[in-house]
Chains A and B, each alone.
Chain A
Amino acid sequence: MAKLHVTTTINGDPVEFLCEPHHTMLDVLRGSLGLTGSKEGCGSGDCGACSVTLDGRLVCSCLMLAAEAEGHQIRTIEGMAEGEMLHPLQQKFLEMAALQCGICTPGMLVAAKALLEHNQEPTETEVRYWLAGNLCRCTGYDKIVRAVLETAAEMRGAAR
């Protein structure tokens, strides 16, 4: 079986990899690329733990073939902080205890960041529906939603 050669950009870095045609982006991220921050909770797009962005758009990396990354830009949780500076969402999740076990956290953060890039002033309802594809079984979502709303407010304040 011939492997495919894929040239892509991950978290701003040029990356090349070989993959089988049926491999998902998540398989390659977690496997040969060693980027295990994206998690596989279901493999069917129902939990959002594998969330990444593809050319800035939020997607489940388990529902994308690795071959489709050719020529595109992927961002994962590993690319969210800038050096040692956490993204404001990461910092707020820590301050407000918006995680318990932490398995959904990478996907939740990637999804929340995509929301704030798309909508700087989301309502509680907008946050809840945007994040409906990210399952969390520990928190009841309360502290997650509050952390996203508070981060959005702070980022708006800082931008002023």
Chain B
Amino acid sequence: MNEHSNKWIGQRTIRPDGADKVTGRAAFGADTTMPGMIWGKVLRSPHAHARIRSIDTSKAESLPGVKAVVTARDIVNFTTDKPFILGIQDMRWMCRNVMAREKVLFHGHPVAAVAAATEEIAAEACKMISVEYEVLPWVIEIEDAIKPDAPILHEFNKLDGKPSNITGKLEHKLGDIAAGFAQAEVIVERSFKTRPVHQGYIEPHACLVSVASDDKTTIWSSSQGQFMVRAMTALLTGLTQSDIRAIPAEIGGGFGGKTIVYLEPLATMLSKKSGRPVKMVMSREEVMRASGPTSGSSSTVKIGATKDGRIVAAHGIYYLQAGALPGSPIRGAAGCSFAPYDIPNVLSQGFDVVSNRSKVVAYRAPGAPIGAYAVECVMDELAVALKMDPLELRLKNAAKQGTKAAHGPVYPRIGFVETLEAARAHPHYKAPLGKHHGRGVASGFWFNAGGESSAQVNITEDGNVVVMTGHPDIGGSRAAIANIAAELIGIDYKSVSVLIGDTATIGYSNMTGGSRVLFASAMVVTQSAEKVITILRARAAKIWNIDPDAVTWEDGAARPAGDNAGKFAPLTLAEIAAKATETGGPIGAGVQLNTTGAEGGFATHICDVEVDVDLGIVRVLRYTAFQDVGKAVHPSYVEGQMQGGVAQGIGWALNEEYIYNRNGQVDNAGFLDYRMPVCSDLPMLDAVMIEIPNPKHPQGVRGVGEVPLVPVMAAIANAIHDALGIRFYSLPMSPPKVLEALDLPRAAE
């Protein structure tokens, strides 16, 4: 930990990109043009599952104004027999997701793309492409997909020697659960279902790509990682990475959903073929039909405890929908669900199941909310069975420093206990409740992440600072980085400019995701700033003609130290910068690292609901989130992460779901019937930040973005139980479901 004055770290400064964003100047994915630009559109599958017999594009190509047509033939084929891993994705599935190859696997799956002089002509041309399909039986739900006679999506995928829709398995094991459950005096076992939910970013996917005749390519797009865009586009088009310059547009929300490419490889091939810059923008309907939601799930969780409330064994089984191609977040579900607790015997199993839905992609703490929903509801039932307060039960079993988690690590200093204690002591936990009101609590964990980051810190000739990093800023990270740079260099925050580089101007940086950005970029910015300070001290030493070790850097100026203390007037950053040329040249430093030491994040939430028992409507009345945030470098944006995650969780719990019709098509592909919370649905969302610094980070940073979504669904389910005495084992807890349960005759619990 740095011991600084904290003049800037922890301050609620104004974000560097703020003025652009409140005046409409900020340029997002769909906001740019290029000379000669034309428009691309995607032809999508009308079937949920069909073999493609043939595609005839000749009519479309002859339509006046059409400049290029691409199909799977124009996209590099990664054969299904050889895995090709890029980050957490497999290019075998990516190439089939951006453009259907042997089969269309979901309604809305891209089949071809057209570039034309106008959007209207491109859309018209799409209609003129004739595709011959052999329609196949399809399957949507997990229960149906794992039946022995289910339609098989990928014949090459085998389980126990037979074709199967189960495309992956994962297991975490600790101790011996049979022995553990044998000791248990109280056991609760329940099964749960959740529906797929979309990240719901307001900005649809968009890109603008220009490929020159020498293959030099510029991609302007909205994503969670310009380097991911470069790598995936290179692999899918056959271009080399050095030919591609991927420029990160401002990103209008991602939440994990913009961690893969959809349009960029298509626009690249359309531009290459047409010789013109090509712009592509998804409609909201396309976003809902063809970009990734997170998995729906089917889980069973069993927890056993002794009568004094000590948990002795836990078993979780999580089946997650992958969508049409393998790769659901079973690691998040199986790994995070029991992670808040110190349990000697754990078995946590995840199963990846494909079906004819759009391929899932990351969504805020991928998989973790699904696991936590099941576990934290069972914990609530266990507390009732044990006649214990639910926070006391959690406190009694809370993981702490030294706890061995089933997913692997032995925890260093963590702040889970502090979140529970803060919740127990908070006035919210004791506030009176009215009729048909209920209160629920739940906890949650996310791994957090480090990984590759690059930074460059340059001193301008006039003595100001430019910091460049390589992660798209999705929620205020530039503001936090500016705080850190100002703090370390000892200058005014306003003297620091923070920019996001493109793939040609900054070194490789992994994606914005996994709650890694500030953790990782603060590390490389800190080390870069330290290098710059070393240079500044050396320059001052040179001017003074003394040893660099005899110069200290304080409050933005070099000062002689030791024997020389007081001999020279301090040299400010501006004074040293003015003499940069004669003292050795430009001043700046960069650092590129694979960062490690991102430690887990924990949260505990309290939620109050009110149920309209005649209509089945649940409203959240009050919500308080307690989270170990490590160090809140910019508290406003930490609170913002917590509030935003809670709001998404409220939507997931109460109303959001993909609804499929009888033809295997999404029936609510728009914001009207995919019901995300609107402003009048929510109360103020109280965020209580608890700062237990991460001992492995220079500023003590822990990731904060994912954890806030993890406990929400269980907290609300537990609050509804408190209000009504009814447990809900499936999401969303929408009005028809709640009213139906209220109308059922009930046995006293």
Asked if A pairs with B, the answer is yes
Shortest Cβ distance from residue A109 to the other chain B in the assembled complex, whole angstroms = 6
C-alpha spacing A103/B258, complex, angstroms? 15
Structural contact, B643 and A143, CB atoms closer than 8 A = yes
Contact A103 B28 (CB under 8 A): yes
Q: Which of B24, B200, B250, B679 has the most CB of A within 10 A?
A: B679
**B670 located at the interface, meaning its Cβ lies under 8 Å from any Cβ of chain A in the complex:** yes
Q: Report the minimal beta-carbon distance from B135 to chain A, rounded to whole angstroms.
A: 30
Question: Do the beta carbons of A97 and B252 come within 8 Å of each other?
Answer: no
Partner of B640, one of A90, A104, A138: A138
In the complex the two chains form, what is the Cα distance from A93 to B24 in whole Å?
Answer: 13
Given contacts A128-B679, A137-B253, A141-B679, contact A100 B474 (CB under 8 A): yes
For window 215-262 of chain B, which residues contact chain A by CB distance below 8 Å?
A: 250-255
* CB-based contact A102/B684 at 8 Å: no
Interface size on A, residues (CB 8 A): 56
User: Could you tell me if B284 and A94 are in contact, using CB atoms closer than 8 angstroms?
Assistant: no
- Would B636 and A145 count as touching, CB distance under 8 A? no
B643 and A46 contact, CB distance less than 8 A: no
Closest to B250 in A: A102
Chain B, residue nearest A93 (CB): B22
Instruction: Verify A41–B23 contact, CB threshold 8 A.
Output: no
Given contacts A105-B22, A137-B648, whether A39 and B643 have CB atoms under 8 Å apart is: no
B652 CB to closest chain A CB, in angstroms?
12
Name the CB-closest residue of A to B641. Answer: A100
- Interface secondary structure of A, over-half rule: loop
Contacts A44-B284, A94-B14, A94-B18; is A137 near B24 (CB within 8 Å)?
no
Contact present for B637 and A137 (CB under 8 Å): no
Interface assignment of B728: CB less than 8 Å from any CB of chain A: no
* Interface membership of chain B positions 1-36, coded 1 if the CB is closer than 8 angstroms to chain A and 0 otherwise: 000000000001011011101111111101100000
Judged by a CB distance under 8 angstroms, whether B385 is at the interface is no
Binds B, one of A65-73, A74-82, A150-158: A74-82
- Would you give the 0/1 interface string for B638-662, flagging 1 where the beta carbon is closer than 8 Å to chain A? 0111011111100000000000000
A134: interface (CB < 8 Å)? yes
Interchain CB contact under 8 A, A101 and B474: yes
Bound CA span A80–B250, Å:
21
| Residue in contact with B676 in the complex, picked from A97, A100, A125, A135, CB distance below 8 Å | A135
Across chains A and B, the number of contacting residue pairs, with CB separation under 8 Å, is 178
Q: Once the chains bind, are B682 and A141 in contact (CB under 8 Å)? A: yes
Q: Are A97 and B202 in contact (CB under 8 A)?
A: no
Q: Do residues A43 and B283 form an inter-chain contact, with CB atoms below 8 A?
A: yes
| Nearest neighbor of A103 in chain B, beta-carbon distance | B252
A10 contacts B by Cβ under 8 Å: no
Query: Which residues of chain B are within 8 angstroms of A36 by Cβ–Cβ distance?
Result: 24, 27, 30-31
> Provided the pairs A46-B672, A137-B255, A138-B475 are in contact, do residues A103 and B24 lie with their beta carbons within 8 angstroms?
no
B669-697 contacts to A (CB < 8 Å): 670-672, 676-680, 682, 684-685
Answer yes or no: A18 CB below 8 A from chain B CBs. no
The reply to whether A101 and B14 contact each other, CB–CB distance below 8 Å, is no
* Interface presence of A15 (CB below 8 A): no
Q: Is the CB of A38 within 8 A of B637?
A: no
A97 to chain B: closest residue by CB: B636
User: Does the CB pair B22–A44 fall under 8 Å?
Assistant: no
Interfacial chain A residues near B27, Cβ < 8 Å: 36
Contacts of A144 in B (CB 8 A): 679
Chain A residues near B476: list those with CB within 8 A: 97, 100
Contacts of A47 in B (CB 8 A): 202, 284, 671
Q: How far is the CA of A97 from the CA of B645 in the complex (A)?
A: 16
Q: In the bound complex, how far is the Cα of B26 from the Cα of A104, in angstroms?
A: 12
Closest to A143 in B: B640
Using a CB-CB cutoff of 8 Å, which residues 86-109 of chain A contact chain B? 86, 90, 93-97, 99-106, 109
- A159 CB, nearest partner CB in chain B, Å: 22
Question: Assuming the A-B contacts A103-B252, A136-B202, A137-B676, are A37 and B24 also in contact, with contact meaning beta carbons closer than 8 angstroms in the complex?
Answer: yes
Residue of A nearest to B203 (CB): A103
Does B513 touch A at the CB level, under 8 Å?
no
Residues from 107 to 146 in A contacting B, C-beta threshold 8 Å: 109, 124-125, 127-129, 131-146
B429 touches A (CB below 8 Å): no
Cβ 8 A contact of A101, one of B19, B252, B643, B646: B252
Residue of B nearest to A81 (CB): B23
CB distance from B122 to the nearest CB of A (A): 15
- Known contacts A97-B640, A101-B251; is-contact A135 B671 (Cβ 8 Å): yes
* A37–B283 touching, CB < 8 Å: no
Q: Which residues of B contact A129 (CB under 8 A)?
A: 679-680
Task: Given A90-B23, A97-B476, decide whether A142 and B680 contact each other with a Cβ distance below 8 A.
Answer: no
Most buried by A among B281, B645, B647: B647
Which B84-107 residues have a C-beta within 8 angstroms of A? none
Say which residue of A132, A133, A140 sits within 8 Å of B685 (CB atoms).
A140
Q: In the complex, which residue of chain B has the Cβ closest to the Cβ of A27?
A: B119
Contacts of A94 in B (CB 8 A): 14-15, 18-19, 22
> Are A99 and B202 closer than 8 Å at their CB atoms?
no
**Does B201 lie at the interface of the complex (its beta carbon under 8 Å from any beta carbon of A)?**
yes
Residues of A within 8 A of B203 (CB): 39, 41, 101, 103
Q: Enumerate chain B residues within 8 angstroms of A44, measured Cβ to Cβ.
A: 284, 670-672
- Give complex CA distance A139, B202 in Å: 12
A56–B54 alpha-carbon span in the complex (Å): 54
Contacts of B634 in A (CB 8 A): 97
B634: nearest chain-A partner, CB-CB: A97
Asked whether, in the complex, the Cβ of A38 is within 8 Å of the Cβ of B24, the reply is: yes
Please indicate which of the listed interface residues B12, B18, B283, B476 has the most CB atoms of chain A within 10 Å of its own CB.
B18
- Interface residue A49 (Cβ < 8 Å from any Cβ of B): yes
Closest to A137 in B: B200
> A142 — which chain B residues lie within 8 A by C-beta?
639, 643, 682, 684-685
Look across to chain B and name the residue whose beta carbon is closest to the beta carbon of A144.
Answer: B679
Question: CB of B40 within 8 A of chain A?
Answer: no
Q: Which residues of B contact A97 (CB under 8 A)?
A: 12, 15, 476, 634, 636-637, 639-640
Q: Are A80 and B23 neighbours in the complex by a CB distance under 8 Å?
A: yes
How far apart are A111's CB and chain B's nearest CB, in angstroms? 10
A59 adjacent to chain B (CB < 8 Å): no
| Least Cβ–Cβ distance between B362 and chain A, in angstroms | 15
B204 within 8 A of A: yes
The CB with the most chain A CB atoms within 10 A, among B19, B252, B646, is that of: B252
B637 touches A100 (CB 8 A): yes
Cα of A101 to Cα of B475 in the assembled complex, Å: 5
Q: How many angstroms between the C-alpha atoms of A40 and B28 in the bound complex? A: 11
Question: How distant is the Cα of A96 from the Cα of B640 in the complex, in angstroms?
Answer: 10
Residues of B within 8 A of A141 (CB): 647, 677, 679, 682
A43 cross-chain contacts in B, Cβ below 8 A:
283-284
Evaluate whether A39 and B28 lie within 8 angstroms (CB atoms) in the complex, with A103-B253, A137-B202 already known: yes
Complexed CA–CA distance, A43 and B281 (Å): 12
Taking the closest CB of chain A, its distance from the CB of B22, in whole angstroms, is: 4
Residue of B with least CB distance to A22: B120
Residues of B within 8 A of A109 (CB): 22
CB distance from B626 to the nearest CB of A (A): 16
A125 to chain B, nearest CB (A): 8
B748 vs chain A, min Cβ distance (A): 37
* B15 near A41: Cβ-Cβ < 8 Å: no
Question: Are B685 and A102 closer than 8 Å at their CB atoms?
Answer: no
A6 at the interface (CB under 8 A from B): no
A102 in contact with B14 (CB, 8 Å): no
Instruction: Identify the 6 closest CB pairs spanning chains A and B, nearest first.
Output: A37-B24, A103-B252, A140-B647, A97-B636, A140-B643, A102-B21
Can you name 25 A-B residue pairings with CB atoms under 8 Å? A36-B24, A39-B202, A42-B284, A44-B670, A76-B24, A94-B14, A94-B19, A100-B253, A102-B26, A103-B202, A104-B202, A106-B22, A106-B24, A124-B684, A129-B679, A135-B202, A137-B202, A137-B648, A139-B644, A140-B643, A140-B646, A141-B677, A142-B684, A142-B685, A145-B679
A128-B679, A138-B644 known; 7 new pairs, CB 8 Å cut-off, are A30-B31, A77-B23, A137-B201, A140-B643, A140-B682, A145-B679, A145-B684
